[in-house]
A and B are shown apart, each in its own frame.
Chain A
Amino acid sequence: MIRLRDITRYYTNGFVKTFVLRGVRLDVAEGEFLTIMGPSGAGKSTLLHILGMLDATSEGEYYFHDIPVHELTERRRTELHQQNIGFVFQSYHLIDDLTVYENLETPLLYKKVKAAERKSLVADMLDRFGIVAKKDLFPAQLSGGQQQLVAVARAMIIHPRLILADEPTGNLNSKQGEEIMALFRELNRAGTTIIQVTHSEKNAAYSHRIIHLCDGWVTGHQLAASG
C-alpha cells in the first residue's frame, strides 16, 4: 500500500540544512497496524505528516498504491488525501467554532458529498461512536476523551483506507487512552490500515509492527506483541 524509498526531509535555515529524516525506507501493507517510536525530535511526526501528504519530501520517492505522491501537484495530492486518509492528533484538533455534528460533516463537505448522503453518514458515525446525545455540543463542552472520540469519528467518516494517529492518547487519562486504543484495534480488524506515533509501549502493543526512529534514521524494526 505504501512504499517509501530513501525519503529525506530537511529544512534550510540560512546556509544550514537541518535534517529531520534521512533515507527512510519503509513498506506498509494494506491492513497493517504500524507504530513509529523514538525519542523527541527523532522525526516521527514529520514522517507521519509526509505519509499523510500534509508535508512534502525533500528527496526520495513516496508511492501510495503505486501512485507517485512525490510527483503530484498540490491539487491532486489534496484529492488523494481527501479520498484515503484520516488524521487523529494528540490535541484532538477539533474546530472550536463548530458543533460535534458539524465537525464530523466538514470532511464530507470538502469531499463534495451530497447533503442527503452526508446526513446519513454523520448519523451512522454518531451512532457507531455513541455520541448521538452530544451532536449539538461544541468541543469545549466535551471531556478530552470525548473530544478524541469525535476526532476519531471525524477521521473515519470518509471511510479512509489509512488512519494516521499522532500520539492519540497523549492528552488522555489511562482509561480513556485504553478505550481509544481498543477502538483503533477494532477499526484495524475491520480492515483500516493504521499508523500511529507514540511514546507508550502499552499503546505500541496494540500494533503489529514497530519501527524505531532516531535522529531521522530508521534504527530498527520489531514485531509487536499482537503482531
Chain B
Amino acid sequence: MWLRHFHSSWRYLSRHKGYAGLNIIGLTAGMVTCILISLWVWDEQHYDVHHLKADRIYRATRQVRFGGVDAWMGTLEPPAAAMFRQEFPEVEATVRIRHYDACVVRTGPVVFKETRLAFADPSLFDMFTLPLLQGDGGGALAEPRRLLVSRTSARKYFGAGDAVGRTLTLDGMGDFQIAGVFQDMPAAGHFHFDLIGSMTSLAEAREANWTTSNFYTYLLLRPGADPRAIEKKYVQVMTKHVGPLFESFFGKSVAQAIADGQFRLQLILQPLRSIHLHSKLRYEFEPNGDATYVYLFAVAALLVLGVAVVNYVNLATAQAIGRAREVGIRKSIGASRSQLALQFLAEPFMLSLLALGLAMSLVVMVLPLFNELTGKTLGLSMIAISSWVALGVGLIAVTSFLAGGYPALALSAFQPVRVLKSGWCAGGRGHWLRRSLVIFQFTVSGLLIIGVLVVSRQIEYAQTKNLGYEKEQVLVLDNAHLLGIQADAFKNEMLGDPRITHATISGCLPVPSSVFNYTAYADRRIDEAHAIPVSGFQVDVDYLPTLGLKLVAGRNFSRAHGTDDRAVIVNRALARQCGWREPVGHKLGIPGDDAINRGQVVLDEYTVIGVVDDFHFETLHSTIRPLVLRLGHQPELIAFRFVAGSAEEVVTRLRQTWLRVAPDQPFEYYFLDERFDSMYRAEDKVRRVLAVFVVLAVGVGCLGLMGLAAFMAERRAREMSIRKVCGASAADVLGRMLREFVLLVCVANALALPLAVYGANRWLAQYAYPAPLGVGLFVVSFALTLVVALLTVAWHVLQVARADPVIALRYE
C-alpha cells in the first residue's frame, strides 16, 4: 500500500513540476541550513571533550571586587596551585599555565614571532590528553630549559629533520632544548599551543609571591568531589595565606574589608568543557565562543526550515482545491479517511527525502565556504554515522509531519458529494491559514533583516564613532624590539622623511597590544577609598601627537623637563574617579616594580602634569576606564603618522630602512585602522552568517509566495475578468489583487517590530556604547520586505490584470 502511495505521489509530482520544484528547492535550502548549523552547534558544544579526564578538570577563576570595580579574572598567583593541593583533599592534581602571546623565537637564521607559547607544570600531560609523538612530556617539563613543540612547529623550524635535541632561542628568555614533539592540538579546544616550555624555567613561577597573578590554574578533582565545596572554602583558606599581607597593605583584615563591602573574592571553578561557550574573562587564551550565538543560530536555522515547511503547507492546501475531485473519487470507490491521509503524507515524505538527498550533496559542496564564513574546520566525519542517520530521520520526520499533517487532514476531510458535484470545494479556513502562514514567513524575514541591520549598524558605529584618537593614517611597525638599541635611531631617521609627521615608540596602542593593569592610589593615600584600578600605558613624548590625542588640561611630556620621569598624564575618567577638579598637580601613588617582588607595598609618587580627553583604548563593549600614561622605554611597536595618500611610499621607505638596520629580522607592519576593524571580527562574522540566513529565509519565503500568487491569479482570474467587463481598469484590478499582499506584509512587520526591538536591545546590552536604534532600521526592513513581496507576486498578478476577460470567461 505504501508503495502505491509513493507511486501515485510520484506521478502527481512529476505532473506538477513547478509545484514539486518550489517545494524541493525550499525544503533543500531549509535542510542545508539546518545541517550546517547542526554541525556548527555540535562543534561549539564539543570543545575540550577529547581530554579523557575532562569531566573532572576545572579552571580556577575568581570574581573580585576591589576599589569599587568588579572583575572576573582567570589567572592566579604562582603559589595558588600548591595551596590547592595542600589545603583541599578533593584536588588530585593541578597544572599552571603561563601564556606568552608574543615572543620572537629563532634557531640559526630562522626567526618567527610566536603567539602560542606557554609554560606549564609537568602534570600537564597527565591531566590533559595531549598525545606525544616523541619524548616524555612529564619528564621533559620537570627539567628547566626544556621545550616541547607541536608537530607543525617542528616542521616549521627544522623541516623534515629531527627536532628533538635541537635548540630554540626565545628572545629575552634564553636557549631551550627541545625534549619532545606533541600532536597539533585539535581545533575544538579552548587553548592551542605550539611551544610548551617547562615551568621551572620561569623565576616567577618558583616564588611564593601572592601579589602577582599571571597563572591560569587547572584543578583535577578526585572522582565524586564537589566543586561547590571548594568554592565555599576558598576565601577562608586564602585568608590564612594572605591575611597578614592584606592587613599590612590596607590596614584592616580581610574579613573586615569584606564586611565593609569594599572587597569581595569569589572562586569560580569552570568545568573544562563549558569554558569555550560560557567563559567570558577579560583575558582568555583565545577568543571564546558564545552560547547566545549558538542558540541564536540554531533558532534562525529552524526558522528557515520553518519557512520552507510553511511553503509546503501553503502550496499543498492551495493545490488541494485542484485535488478535491481526486479525493471525492477515491472516497466513492471505498477509500477511508485514514488511507487518504496516509496517501497525502507520502507526498511530503517523498519531497523531504528528495530534499534531504539534495541537501546532503549541497552540504558537501558548500562546507568549505561555510568553514570560511565561520572560521571553522568542520567536516562530515566529525559526527558519527548514527548521528547522521538520526539527523536525517529527524529532519524528514519533522518536515513531512509538520508540512504534510495539515494538508493531509484537510484533504482527507473533503466531502465527496460536494466536490464531485461542483468540481471543487472552497474552504474559508484554508484561506486564513495561508494568510497566517505568509505572515509568519514575513515576520521571520523582517526579524532577520532587522537583526543584520542592527549588527551592521553597531559595527559601523564603532568604526565611525569619535574614538578620541585618530586611527587613520597611522602605520604600526611590529617587532620593534628586534631593532634593540637602534629603535630610537630608526624612529629619528624616519622622521626625516617629509611624509612622516610623527612617530612614537610604545608597546601600548588602543588596539590589542600590551596593557598593564594595576592599582593606583589617589593622592598617595593607601586605603580602600583611594585605590583605583587603572590601565597603564608606557609611552614616549611623541605619543599624544602621533595618535592625535587631545589634552584638556596641563601639558604633554617633554624632554625639556628632567622631572618627567615621575610625571603622569591621566585620562578624564581617572580624574573623575579620584574626584579631582583641577587634576594637574595632584599626586598619584603607583606600586613600584621592586616593591611588589619583596612582597610588601612601597608606592612611587607621580605628579599629574596633564589630562587627556577620554579615548576608547578598548572595544566599545567596555566603558572607558581610568588610564595612566607614563614615560617609559618599551620598544615593542613604533607608530608612524603619515601624510594622507602616501601609504605605499611610506611602507617602501620603511622596508628599505629596516632591511638596512636589521637585515635578518622579519619586517611586519599593520595599519592602525585595519587592526581596529579586526577587533569587531566576531561581530562581522555574526553579521555575515545572519546575512546568509536572511537571503535563505527571504528567498525560500518568496518561492512560496510566488506559488501562492500563481494559484491566486488562477483562482481569481474569473472574478477579475467579470470586474473588467463591468468597467474596472487594469490598475483597479492590480490594486485589488495587491492589496491583500501589502496588508500581509504590514501585519508581519508589525509583529516583527516588538520582537526585534526586544532582541536588539538584548544584544546591544553587551556594549557600553551601543549604537542608537533608529526608526530607520524598521523602515528599511519594512520597505525591503514589501518590495520583495510585491516583486515576487507582480508577474502573476500582472498577467491577470492585463488578461483579456473574454478568454477567462469563455470556458464558464
Contact = CB atoms under 8 A, between A and B. Distances in A.
B333 A107 contact: yes
Interface of B: 1, 4, 8, 11-12, 15, 325-326, 328-337, 339, 415-417, 420-421
A46 B417 contact: yes
A98 B336 CA distance: 19
Given A93-B328, A95-B330, A54 B336 contact: no
B333 A154 contact: yes
Given A97-B15, A106-B330, A109-B1, A55 B335 contact: no
Contacts of A175: none
B420 A110 contact: no
B6 to A, nearest CB: 13
Contacts of B329: 93-95
Contacts of A79: 336
A52 interface: yes
B416 A54 contact: yes
B417 A110 contact: no
B11 A87 contact: no
A172 to B, nearest CB: 18
A54 B417 contact: yes
B333 A54 contact: no
A106 B417 CA distance: 19
Contacts of A109: 1, 4
Contact of B417 (A55, A78, A97): A55
B337 A54 contact: no
A89 B420 CA distance: 9
Nearest to B8: A97
Interface string A102-129: 1000110111100000000000000000
Given A45-B421, A55-B417, A97 B12 contact: yes
Contacts of B337: 74, 78
A107 B12 CA distance: 19
A75 interface: yes
A81 B334 contact: yes
B288 to A, nearest CB: 56
Contacts of B8: 95, 97-98, 102
25 contacts: A45-B421, A54-B331, A54-B332, A54-B417, A55-B415, A55-B417, A74-B337, A78-B337, A79-B336, A82-B336, A86-B333, A87-B333, A89-B332, A93-B329, A93-B420, A95-B326, A96-B326, A97-B326, A98-B8, A110-B330, A110-B334, A110-B335, A110-B339, A111-B334, A158-B334
Contacts of B332: 52, 54, 87, 89, 93
Interface string A121-158: 00000000000000000000000000000000011001
Central interface residue in A98, A154, A158, by most chain B CB within 10 Å: A98
Q: How many of chain A's residues touch chain B, expressed as a range? A: 20 to 34
A74 B11 CA distance: 29
A212 interface: no
Nearest to A77: B336
Please name the 7 residue pairs, one residue from A and one from B, whose CB atoms are nearest each other, closest first. Answer: A82-B334, A97-B11, A78-B336, A107-B333, A110-B334, A93-B329, A87-B332
Chain B interface helix/strand/loop/mixed: helix
A70 interface: no
Nearest to B338: A75
A110 B333 contact: yes
B334 A98 contact: no
Interface of A: 45-46, 49, 52, 54-55, 74-75, 78-79, 81-82, 85-87, 89, 93-98, 102, 106-107, 109-112, 154-155, 158
A97 to B, nearest CB: 4
Contacts of A93: 325, 328-329, 332, 420
From A45, A93, A107, A158, name the one whose CB has the most chain B CB atoms within 10 angstroms: A93
Contacts of B415: 55
Residue with the highest number of chain A CB atoms closer than 10 Å, among B1, B335, B421: B335
A17 B329 CA distance: 28
A111 B15 CA distance: 27
A195 B330 CA distance: 20
Nearest to A160: B334
A98 B328 contact: no
A82 to B, nearest CB: 4
Given A54-B416, A93-B329, A98 B335 contact: no
Contacts of B421: 45
Contacts of B420: 89, 93
Contact of A110 (B12, B326, B336, B416): B336
Contacts of A87: 332-333
Contacts of B417: 46, 49, 54-55
Contacts of A55: 415, 417
Contacts of A74: 336-337
Most buried by A among B333, B339, B415: B333
A127 B1 CA distance: 25
B333 A106 contact: yes
B145 to A, nearest CB: 82
Contacts of B325: 93
A136 B333 CA distance: 20
Contacts of B339: 110
A108 B559 CA distance: 105
Given A55-B415, A98-B11, 20 more contacts: A52-B332, A54-B416, A55-B417, A74-B337, A75-B336, A81-B334, A89-B420, A93-B329, A95-B8, A97-B15, A97-B326, A102-B8, A106-B333, A107-B334, A109-B4, A110-B333, A111-B334, A112-B1, A154-B333, A158-B334
Nearest to A91: B420
Nearest to B335: A110
A78 B325 CA distance: 18
Nearest to B15: A97
A173 B4 CA distance: 35
Nearest to A84: B334
B770 to A, nearest CB: 57
A162 to B, nearest CB: 13
Which of A55, A79, A96, A110 counts the most B-chain CB atoms under 10 A from its CB? A110
B338 to A, nearest CB: 8
Interface centre among B1, B329, B331, B415 (most CB of A within 10 A): B329
A107 B330 CA distance: 8
B334 A78 contact: yes
